[in-house]
Structure 1
Amino acid sequence: MQAYPLLQAALTGFFIGFGLIVAIGAQNAFVLRQGLMHRHVLAVTTVCALSDALLIVAGVAGLGTLVQSSPRLLTVATLGGAAFLAAYGWLAARRAFHPGSLVAAGNGAADGLKATLATALALTFLNPHVYLDTVVLVGSLSAQFSGTAKLAYAAGAALASGVWFYGLGFGARLIAPVFARPAAWRVLDGSIALVMWTIAASLVSNWLRG
């Protein structure tokens, strides 16, 4: 197969993946916050990038079709994910309304590497929107390619996730001076809470409409 079709497939995957991941979501909000706090940034961005790559490969391999064909699995994933996102939103709202909790959170065990990575994994694998973007949408759009071109498409989409997460996590320091003020953190955490609750509500709403 010629290089040009492979490059075209890879670019298609990259731009599709990038277009889907840039939207404000649970993963992005968490990575941004970690980047602003300069805490476990490399570990968090790597976990998110690798997790997305795994889901993209699974979607291209056909997992999306399997997930869509199991109503019970979709129900469990949707309601479980909505509950987790609502709880995480509540924690963010508590930080926003009680600024003193920022200090406690910064010094507590909950800010350790294991707990941080567990949260990153939960925000990835317990969020049905991630499956919709990576497994279902990216996976279904890979049908236009075959063989090596399909692998190039998956690689391009996975690369987009890596570029975005590393850029967001390490690029957050560019706006760090703004967050020298506690009020800025309150706005950020309030926004994170709204994002989490909006996603959770949309998941439940879509499930109820069935």
Structure 2
Amino acid sequence: MSNSHGVLLAFGLILPLGGQNVFLFNRGIIQKRWISTLPAVITAGMADTVMISIAVSGISVLVWSIPWIQVVLYGVGSCFLLYIGYSVWKAAPNNTRTGEERFPPRKQIAFAASVSLLNPHAILDIIGVIGTSSLAYTGTEKWTFTIACILVSWLWFIGLAAAGRLVGRLDTQGKMIVVLNRVSAVLIWIMAILILVRFIKAL
């Protein structure tokens, strides 16, 4: 029961389009090979693993109750998302080599970490929903619940990058990818503005 609950809960939180999902999908589009997206995929997976583990342990609730932490997360998170939106908008999806040069492994890791760890909405979801839901379980059931949530995150990120790579192969002229990049950038900017509003209210 705990594993099915964890799977359904994790899917419900991860499926909505967010900065993390948009970034990983775009990495699949731009990179020449799917394996080249692994730095971003592994970073996002590790970030979710850490956040879910902390949320389930109960430590995150105590940390998140400190007001200045929320202010810092909202401020830094909005700035990062604005920059990521700009990078996605300016990406050259019809030129794979250029795209790979813009996002070498080190930059993929930095961006994936920022959209994962500096996204207040994601943190609130993991702490408020997964962390709270885990309180219903103890012992082995709690471990099963946690592992199910983590496994869903990893599988989703791998599939997202693979789907992006498929779109990149099908759209040889890059027209569809240009539109997707523009839409993705706008969505990221909208999220950045919403977080910025929260930052202003938290001051």
TM-score by length of 1: 0.85
Structure 1: 4+ residue segments shifted above 4 A: 99-104
Aligned match of 2:151: 159
Find 2:196's aligned residue among 179, 183, 204. Answer: 204
Q: Distance in 1 between matches of 2:147 and 2:25?
A: 24
Q: Is 1:106–2:99 an aligned residue pair?
A: yes
Report deviation, 1:100.
Answer: 9.3
Q: Distance in 2 between matches of 1:74 and 1:42?
A: 30
Report deviation, 1:102.
Answer: 5.3
Change (3 A) 1:58 1:146: same
Alignment of 1:97-176 (within 5 A): 105-106=98-99, 108=101, 110-176=102-168
**Greater displacement, 39-48 / 184-193:** 39-48
Q: Distance in 2 between matches of 1:11 and 1:154?
A: 11
Report deviation, 1:107.
Answer: 5.8
Q: Distance in 2 between matches of 1:188 and 1:23?
A: 16
Aligned match of 2:89: 93
Q: Distance in 1 between matches of 2:187 and 2:200?
A: 20
**Greater displacement, 116-125 / 16-25:** 116-125
Q: Is 1:32–2:25 an aligned residue pair?
A: yes
Q: Is 1:14–2:7 an aligned residue pair?
A: yes
Q: Distance in 1 between matches of 2:185 and 2:191?
A: 10
The alignment partner of 2:171 has SS state of helix
Report deviation, 1:149.
Answer: 1.3
**Counterpart amino acid of residue 39 in structure 2:** A
Report deviation, 1:199.
Answer: 0.9
Aligned match of 1:52: 48
Equivalent residues of 2:93, 2:177 under 8 A apart: no
Report Cα offsets for 1:1-38 as digits up to 9, x if no partner.
Answer: xxxxxxx1111111101110011011111111111233
Aligned residues: 199
Equivalent residues of 2:30, 2:96 under 8 A apart: no
Report deviation, 1:160.
Answer: 0.8
Q: Distance in 2 between matches of 1:107 and 1:26?
A: 19
Q: Distance in 2 between matches of 1:45 and 1:67?
A: 27
Aligned match of 1:5: none
Report deviation, 1:65.
Answer: 1.0
Equivalent residues of 2:52, 2:146 under 8 A apart: yes
Q: Distance in 1 between matches of 2:163 and 2:99?
A: 21
